Copies of this chain bind each other. A is one copy, B any other.
Amino acid sequence: MSEFRWDPLKGAWVITENQRARQPREFIIERQQTPVTVCPFCPGQESKTPPEVFALRPDSMPINGPDWQVRVVPNKFPVLRIEGELQQHEFGLYRNIPGVGAHEVIIETPDHHRSLAHLDIPETAGVLQAYRARLLDLRKDLRFRYLQIYKNHGIEAGAPLPHAHSQLMAVPITPPVMRRELNTCRGHFLATNRCLICDLLAQEIEDGRRVVYNDGQFLVVAPYASCFPFELSLYPIQHNHDFALQSDAELLACAKALRNMLRRLYSLLEDPPFNFILHTAPPIKAQSGKPGYWETLPRDYHWHIELVPRLNQIAGFEWGSGFFINPLPPEEAAAFLRAIDPDLRF
């Protein structure tokens, strides 16, 4: 029988189906091919992107040249633009504000043919260092209420360009998904004096059925109320609200866990399309004096990365109700992922 499961972090119900044994191969989808053209993210094509805002390269090499390991550039076709004032316009019941923000691309490797899962651990840590550097820099712009870092892998997950990359969107309104999590965490802290996610990790470690990876520093679990089959979350076990405050050593440990998680998915599901999203503390009000900011440092939050493979459809029921239907219990997903050799296909 299926069941409704409550997600204590998102404050949402999910329908988990449990009606017959399912095998991972049932979830493997035929991937669309990307047409081969000149790739603007490859070394030597640096002039095809706007000038870089960050790069990891040897100090002696010139900026916007080809000798880089990770490169961050403004998106050439940005959804939000950096210029403009946040003037609200109202008419009748409606209102709008200009699409002010920043939209950047983090190119994860110079090699067109390697995905993030193919990188070695220091290379993966380089990508995380780029995330950290851009968070620290963009926080200076007080128009931005949140800095959303996310990755689309595969056409089916919204990435038309195959060269491995993540994106950053700086937005002038706190995203509803983050606002809800921040509020839930604050509510739990006020009620218990404890971090909700710390409590959740303790329960997951003790239970063990949904744990995919645990090296004592980082934990990967299939969330209890997963919306999608093989959904995963990666957490630092030690409490930390802010990804941008992680040290180089912590990013290296994070890279090890992230790579392990990605390789397990890649090996089990034959390189599935996926999205992952960094959930971390928002910039705070500071000296801006403007409303709409998170007023105090959300030390009761706990940063993490959420990953959703894109293997099934969102249909009318999910869109109309807000209830997701997950055809694979996360306990089974975790067991499949624990059992696979993460380096099987590498």
Contacts and interface: CB of A to CB of B under 8 A. Distances in A.
A8 interface: yes
Interface string A315-346: 11101111101000000000000000000000
A307 to B, nearest CB: 10
Interface stretch (A34-42, A44-52, A109-117, A151-159): A151-159
Contact-residue size bin, chain A (C-beta under 8 Å from the other chain): 35 or more
A136 interface: no
Contacts of A286: none
A321 B96 contact: no
Contact of A317 (B3, B13, B148): B148
Interface in A141-198: 146, 148, 150-152, 156-159, 167, 169, 171-173, 175-178, 196
Contacts of A297: none
A194 B227 CA distance: 37
Contact of A99 (B1, B277, B317, B320): B1
Copy total for this chain:
2
Interface string A23-67: 000000000000000000000000000000000000000000000
A77 B96 CA distance: 44
Nearest to A203: B92
B325 A79 contact: yes
Contacts of A323: 171, 173, 175-176
A15 B80 contact: yes
17 contacts: A1-B98, A2-B99, A79-B317, A93-B203, A150-B319, A151-B316, A156-B313, A158-B313, A169-B321, A175-B322, A176-B321, A176-B322, A275-B316, A277-B316, A277-B319, A306-B320, A314-B314
